[in-house]
Amino acid sequence: MWFLWAMLAAVSAALVIVLTKAGLKNVDSSLAFAIQSILIVSITWSVVFYQGNLDMLKDIDKPAWIFLLAAGVFTTLSTLFSYKALSIGPASYVVTVERTSLVIAIVLSVIFLKEKLTWQLIVGATVMVAGAILIALSDRSE
């Protein structure tokens, strides 16, 4: 079941890139993210209320709060940086370089979460980095 949710996330993320790039024509990247953030907050809290999970707030321990708040800071920074890059670069190039975050996440997961490093992860990560370099260094006409 995780694969279905992951694919839905991938399709949604792809749509975010394309729609954001289209919307950034005459809009400051930070302002664009601020506008989208209103929807992010509204929709996610609506889901929490709909699912009846609001009372679970009291069960979150201090370490989880710290990790979640730090992740929120980095989510915000990542999106602000991504939108700035999209405002000045082609979406296909920006997203390719940005998604090298997958390789960084693999490395961090192995180091900090003690996840198992397999040959498939190594080969896959190597291919991702090689692809990102190939695309980033390719000759593009703008």
pLDDT, tens digit, for every residue of 74-126? 999 999 999 999 999 999 899 988 999 999 999 999 999 999 999 999 999 99
More confident position, 131 or 140: 131
Query: How confident is residue 137, by pLDDT bands cut at 50, 70 and 90?
Result: confident
pLDDT at 17 over 90: yes
Query: How confident is residue 136, by pLDDT bands cut at 50, 70 and 90?
Result: confident
pLDDT at 142 over 80: no
pLDDT, tens digit, for every residue of 22-58? 999 999 999 999 999 999 999 999 999 999 999 999 9
More confident position, 47 or 132: 47
Sign of the CA dihedral with 97 first, then 32, 84, and 67 last: negative
| Mean pLDDT, rounded, for 1-30 | 93
CB atoms within 10 A of CB 77: 10
Query: How confident is residue 140, by pLDDT bands cut at 50, 70 and 90?
Result: low
Give residue limits of the domains in the chain: 2-90, 99-142
More confident position, 81 or 136: 81
Q: Distance between CA atoms of 76 and 34, rounded to whole angstroms?
A: 10
Residue 141 is predicted with a pLDDT of 56
Cα separation values, 119 from 12, 42, 129, Å: 29, 42, 15
Are 85 and 98 contacting, i.e. CB atoms less than 8 angstroms apart? yes
Q: Which amino acid is at 100?
A: T
Are 29 and 41 contacting, i.e. CB atoms less than 8 angstroms apart? no
Are 135 and 96 contacting, i.e. CB atoms less than 8 angstroms apart? yes
